[in-house]
Amino acid sequence: MLQYAVNRFLHTVVLLFLISVFVFALMKLAPGDPVTVMLGADYNPESYAKLRSELGLDRSVVVQYLIWVWRFVQGNWGTSYISGAPVARLVLHDALPVTVYLSFWSLVFALVIAIPSGVVAALRRNTWVDYAGMGLAIFFNSFPSFYLGIVLIWIFGVSLGWFPTMGYVSPGADVGRSLLHMVLPAFTLGAWYAGLIARITRSSLVDVLNQPYIKVARAKGVEGRAVVYKHALRNVLIPVVTIVGLQLGGMLRGAVMTETVFALPGIGRLVTIAVLNREYHLVQATVMVIAIMFILINLMVDVLYRFLNPRVREA
Amino acid sequence: MAGKGHDHIATLARTMTQELVSRRAFLAAAGALGAGLALGRPAWAQAVKRGGQLKIAWIDTVDTLDPHFTSSLGAIKIHDNIYNGILKVDFDGKRVSFKPDLVEKWDMPTPTTHVLTLRRGVKFHDGDECTAEAVKWNQERLRDPQVKSPHGWKLADLDKIEIQDKHRLRITFKRPYQFLPVAWTGSTGRAGTVVSPKAVEKHGRAFGRNPVGTGPFRFVEWVENDRIVLERNPNYFETGADGKALPYLDRVTVLLIRESSTAVGALMAGEIDGMNLIPFQFLPMLEKNPAVQVVGGVEGNYTFVGMNNRKPPFDDQALRQAVSFAIDRTPIIQQAYFGGAIAACSAISPPMSDFYNADQCSSKRAQYFDLDKAKALRAESKHKGDVEVEWMVVGQYTGSGGVGPRMAELVQPMLAKIGVKVRIQLYEQATWHKKRNTGDFQMYDEGWVADLDPDETIYPEWVTGKPWNFVGYSNPEFDKLVSEAQFEPNVAKRKALYDKADLLLARDAPCAFIAHFKVFKALSRKVHGFKYIPADSMRFHAVHL
């Protein structure tokens, strides 16, 4: 077990190093720099050279990278070129909680809708319930989230006035308003996810219900509902958990669009603006945080696996 | 040298002093009238409601709240509410003028000497008084090479600043710089905005996140990518219609929404009270909405199609001129600007009241649409047959005048008629800036915005070797005319110089001028007292709900 933990840790460190090099190189290869963006209409070659030197951007790329790594591991993530605010505060204090909050409610929404829908569709397969459920699942799975967001804003925000159309309210400030503000963004982000999970749940359950041990259980006289909930569903959860874990990264990707459409000050919006402004430190730190989150989620999925599947535990 | 009676700045200074005297007399009379009205306040005073919060969506970028370092109009619109300038921009519906803000009296003993007498008792939000010492400190901060303010050049001719007493200072320039009234405004000028010296010394570079001024609102917080909150300054010096200190509002929350469709949705749902900018495509929808008032007009700006004068094929003047005559501005104004613009045939725009020629297009002296003339010039070009060019377009720009690729798409078939085959290439902002700044392009479109004087609209953009002359235009005659105009105090003579320069620029065609566009703000019908000023400004001094 210790060996496993050490290996896992070393893999993680190497992976994070490679990610940091890749992102740094990619940002440096992209044309343009933050100095041009910062100067805007006040650009002139002299002020450009002065500011570039002041920000240390005239040094070699390797030196810039090494300085960044050295400071990053010491907890000094630098400051935003444009705003001057500390990067660590922007990422960890300001943006991350918003994205985690949005992702949490999107996941809750997706699971609450998708698993029952998938189960019902599997149990009533090849009926209109199955076709309607899976049709909706494919629809939400294929609908671009930014467009769905705008459609929802216009229907439920502007026309019906049921939900706020934009903005983030911290749950610490007002729980009720905070939840109300999350309804449309969580639906937008969770819809794609719900479609995917519902389809996986259905197909897995259909597959499991045809397994010999289910037939044995039925032959032993276990009633229909108990067969599903006690024997089949636990095995269905294994592929579902795998997909949930793998696709949480997809949720962060979707958060970029959702946060932009609903004006939520989360990681997705932060990184989008940072990339456009060529804020190297900010992009680097945000990507590292996303990578660490992704790795942690995968670790959690592994642990859950061991809980759900005794064979993995014994291996 | 021009007689003093015609001196542009001296006249302005005298007018201001006279206006202040009459304003004081009016206020005294109003005070007496108020005292005489034993039964309640007059009707106009009762119409104003105090208190409440204004929530307004901000579409464009806010870089810093330090006015001496900002390059963004989105930020300047907020500065207008936190700070005051030495002067401020005013608009009576027809003419733009410059009014006193922190100064009470402005004397000009000579064309290069300015004696400024400040209002007494004006305090910064941190409690310090705004004295002559503070104004001097601000002017010196701007021009200090160590500070590296991008607006220091506006005070390059400043010779010395002498403090005469606590509220009076004497500022001497080396030459009679005619751009000074604009430079000394608290809004787009930025070289006249007065910040708290104590706060700058306390916060250093972080002052841009902890701004302290003398304005009607004081800074509360800036939550990154989310909001900037301002609250009422109870000690503000201006008085409202009810006889009490401005502002009327308790709070202004600026919501940093970059996505304009989200802001439009929130405005139509009644969640916010306004938008600081309306992208043109939303104009028809918002104008039809009965709950929304759209405020705006043609501002000091122009958009143009720039052609790289240093590189083939646009190193050929005849080809550039052919392009300028081949473009029909009417469909561009209708389809790219949704009607929110007027044709531009040269650079100088309507808010530059003393210098704009309204007949520049109709008189057919500058640039205008004439396909036959374009074809004739095309035949004179050294590039025979079809030429293929790349037009670089920026994708994400949402600020004033941004029309995305719409203009390029409309012009493309027009230029095909004179054998210029345009390939439109979309770049994201940072790449586009890099290519533009290094002259790595053939064609591009751009706009210069929020200008109030011909000097700022024509000099750094088109004079040989100047920083914004990205197309590399060079004409010594033009350079001479606009350089002379910078220091010509006589308005009529200055206008004559700009008329010649503007026409020369249009005829040389380093670019094809397209439009002077309108800048629109949307406000809910429940918002009252907003005064429109054609400098893309958003002042909430006298706004009430």
Whether residue A278 and residue B430 make contact (CB cut-off 8 A), yes or no, is: yes
Q: Is the pLDDT of residue B388 over 70?
A: yes
Q: Which residue carries 């030197």 as its tokens?
A: A53
Q: Residue B19: its pLDDT value, please?
A: 45
- Contact by Cβ (8 Å): B228, B256: yes
Optimal mutation site among B58, B262, B289, B463, interface A, most CBs of chain A within 10 A: B262
Measured between beta carbons, the chain B residues lying within 8 angstroms of A47 are: 148, 150
Choose the most confident range, by mean pLDDT, from B283-287, B458-462, B476-480: B476-480
pLDDT digits (tens, 9 = 90+) for B370-381: 999 999 999 999
Name the residue with higher pLDDT: B504 or A3.
Answer: B504
| B11: confidence class by pLDDT, cuts 50, 70, 90 | low
- Shared domain for A91 and A21, answered yes or no, is no
In a domain, B260, yes or no: no
Measured between beta carbons, the chain A residues lying within 8 angstroms of B432 are: 32
Name the residue with higher pLDDT: B118 or A294.
Answer: B118
Distance from the Cα of A269 to chain B's closest Cα (Å) equals 8
At a CB cut-off of 8 Å and minimum separation 6, what does B87 contact? B98, B99, B100, B101, B103, B181, B184, B185, B186, B189, B192
- Shared domain for B311 and B241, answered yes or no, is no
With CA atoms as reference, report the closest residue to A87 among A98, A97, A96, A78.
Answer: A78
- Shared domain for A161 and A35, answered yes or no, is no
In a domain, B505, yes or no: yes
Which B-chain residues 429-448 have CB contacts (< 8 A) with chain A? 429-435, 437, 448
Q: Which residue carries 């024997």 as its tokens?
A: A231
Distance from the Cα of B175 to chain A's closest Cα (Å) equals 23
Whether residue B224 and residue A168 make contact (CB cut-off 8 A), yes or no, is: no
Per-residue pLDDT of chain A (315 residues; tens, 9 = 90+): 677 777 777 887 888 888 888 888 877 777 767 777 666 656 677 767 777 776 777 788 888 888 888 888 888 888 887 777 788 888 988 898 999 899 889 989 988 988 888 888 888 888 888 888 888 888 888 888 888 998 999 899 888 989 998 889 889 888 999 999 999 999 999 988 888 888 888 888 888 888 888 788 777 777 777 777 777 777 788 888 877 877 776 677 778 889 988 988 898 888 888 887 777 778 888 888 888 888 888 777 777 777 776 666 555
- Shared domain for B411 and B339, answered yes or no, is yes
CATH number at residue B244: 3.40.190.10
Name the residue with higher pLDDT: B525 or A144.
Answer: B525
| B81: confidence class by pLDDT, cuts 50, 70, 90 | very high
In a domain, B334, yes or no: yes
Is the CB of residue B1 less than 8 Å away from at least one CB of chain A? no
In a domain, A82, yes or no: no
- Shared domain for A63 and A144, answered yes or no, is no
DSSP secondary structure code for residue A55 in this structure: T
pLDDT digits (tens, 9 = 90+) for B347-362: 999 888 889 988 877 7
**pTM confidence score:** 0.79
- Shared domain for A45 and A110, answered yes or no, is no
pLDDT mean over B425-446: 87
pLDDT mean over B452-468: 88
pLDDT mean over B243-263: 91
Name the residue with higher pLDDT: B72 or A314.
Answer: B72
DSSP secondary structure code for residue A95 in this structure: I
Q: Residue B14: its pLDDT value, please?
A: 55
- Shared domain for A60 and A142, answered yes or no, is no
DSSP 3-state of A166: coil
| Other beta carbons within 10 Å of B175 | 13
Measured between beta carbons, the chain B residues lying within 8 angstroms of A95 are: 224-225
Is the CB of residue B43 less than 8 Å away from at least one CB of chain A? no
Q: What is the mean pLDDT of chain B?
A: 86
| DSSP string for residues in A241-267 | HHHHHHHHHHHHHHHHHHHHHTT--SH
Q: Is the pLDDT of residue B327 over 80?
A: yes
Distance from the Cα of B197 to chain A's closest Cα (Å) equals 19
| Other beta carbons within 10 Å of A309 | 16
- Shared domain for B109 and B246, answered yes or no, is yes
Optimal mutation site among A46, A48, A83, interface B, most CBs of chain B within 10 A: A83
Measured between beta carbons, the chain B residues lying within 8 angstroms of A40 are: 63, 71-72
- Shared domain for A156 and A245, answered yes or no, is yes
- Shared domain for A29 and A96, answered yes or no, is no
- Contact by Cβ (8 Å): A68, A23: no
Nearest chain A Cα to B61, which residue?
A273
Per the DSSP assignment, residues forming a β-bridge with B444 are B306, B392
In a domain, A79, yes or no: no
Measured between beta carbons, the chain B residues lying within 8 angstroms of A150 are: 261, 265
pLDDT mean over B408-421: 94
Q: Is the pLDDT of residue B12 over 60?
A: no
Q: Is the pLDDT of residue B345 over 80?
A: yes
* Domain coverage including residue A186: 87-314
Q: List the end-to-end C-alpha distance of chain A, in Å, as a whole number.
A: 11
Q: Residue B5: its pLDDT value, please?
A: 33
At a CB cut-off of 8 Å and minimum separation 6, what does B147 contact? B68, B141
Whether residue A31 and residue B430 make contact (CB cut-off 8 A), yes or no, is: yes
Question: Two tokens at B347?
Answer: 């650079």
Whether residue B225 and residue A262 make contact (CB cut-off 8 A), yes or no, is: no
- Shared domain for B216 and B308, answered yes or no, is no
With CA atoms as reference, report the closest residue to B428 among B468, B398, B470.
Answer: B398
Helices within chain A (DSSP H only): 2-29, 34-39, 45-54, 61-73, 87-88, 96-123, 128-142, 145-152, 175-209, 212-219, 224-226, 233-261, 267-276, 280-308, 310-314
What are the angstrom distances between the C-alpha of B85 and each of A198, B240, B533? 61, 19, 16
Whether residue B148 and residue A50 make contact (CB cut-off 8 A), yes or no, is: yes
Region of poorest pLDDT, from B248-257, B316-325, B395-404: B395-404
Whether residue B434 and residue A164 make contact (CB cut-off 8 A), yes or no, is: no
Whether residue B271 and residue A42 make contact (CB cut-off 8 A), yes or no, is: no
Q: Residue B401: its pLDDT value, please?
A: 63
Optimal mutation site among A33, A43, A257, interface B, most CBs of chain B within 10 A: A43
CATH number at residue A185: 1.10.3720.10
pLDDT mean over B510-533: 93
DSSP 3-state of B195: coil
Rg (CA), chain B: 24
Q: Is the pLDDT of residue B416 over 60?
A: yes
Whether residue B433 and residue A32 make contact (CB cut-off 8 A), yes or no, is: yes
CB-nearest to B429 from A38, A153, A276 is A276
What are the angstrom distances between the C-alpha of B343 and each of A207, B327, B514, B516? 68, 11, 6, 6
CB-nearest to B225 from A33, A158, A273 is A273
- Contact by Cβ (8 Å): B54, B249: yes
In a domain, B274, yes or no: no
In a domain, A176, yes or no: yes
Q: Is the pLDDT of residue B15 over 70?
A: no
- Contact by Cβ (8 Å): B314, B508: no
pLDDT digits (tens, 9 = 90+) for B31-61: 333 333 334 444 444 588 899 999 999 988 8
- Shared domain for A240 and A291, answered yes or no, is yes
In a domain, A144, yes or no: yes
Optimal mutation site among B259, B272, B275, B435, interface A, most CBs of chain A within 10 A: B259
Nearest chain A Cα to B397, which residue?
A276
Q: Residue B21: its pLDDT value, please?
A: 40
Q: Which of A49, A74, A99 is the last residue of a domain?
A: A74
Q: Residue A179: its pLDDT value, please?
A: 94
Q: Residue B23: its pLDDT value, please?
A: 38
Whether residue B258 and residue A165 make contact (CB cut-off 8 A), yes or no, is: no
* Domain coverage including residue B185: 4-254
3-state SS string over B483-504?
Answer: HHHHCCCEHHHHHHHHHHHHHH
Amino acid at residue number B231:
E
- Shared domain for A258 and A177, answered yes or no, is yes
In a domain, A80, yes or no: no
| B399: confidence class by pLDDT, cuts 50, 70, 90 | low
- Shared domain for A146 and A13, answered yes or no, is no
- Shared domain for A286 and A172, answered yes or no, is yes
Q: What's the number of domains chain B is made of?
A: 2
- Contact by Cβ (8 Å): B195, B138: yes
CB-nearest to A167 from B150, B255, B430 is B255
In a domain, B278, yes or no: no
Q: Is the pLDDT of residue B532 over 80?
A: yes
- Shared domain for B60 and B116, answered yes or no, is yes
- Contact by Cβ (8 Å): A208, A214: yes
3-state SS string over B396-440?
Answer: CCCCCCCCCCHHHHHHHHHHHCCCEEEEEEEECHHHHHHHHHCCC
- Count Cα atoms within 13 angstroms, Cβ side, for B256: 22
Optimal mutation site among B62, B144, B433, interface A, most CBs of chain A within 10 A: B433
Q: Is the pLDDT of residue B490 over 50?
A: yes
- Contact by Cβ (8 Å): B353, B96: yes
Q: Which of A45, A74, A103 is the last residue of a domain?
A: A74
Q: What's the number of domains chain A is made of?
A: 2
- Shared domain for A93 and A201, answered yes or no, is yes
- Shared domain for B504 and B412, answered yes or no, is yes
Largest separation between any pair of C-alpha atoms in chain B: 85
CATH number at residue B446: 3.10.105.10
Q: Report the complex ipTM.
A: 0.71
Q: Is the pLDDT of residue B314 over 90?
A: yes
- Contact by Cβ (8 Å): B519, B400: yes
Whether residue A84 and residue B396 make contact (CB cut-off 8 A), yes or no, is: no
- Shared domain for B17 and B104, answered yes or no, is yes
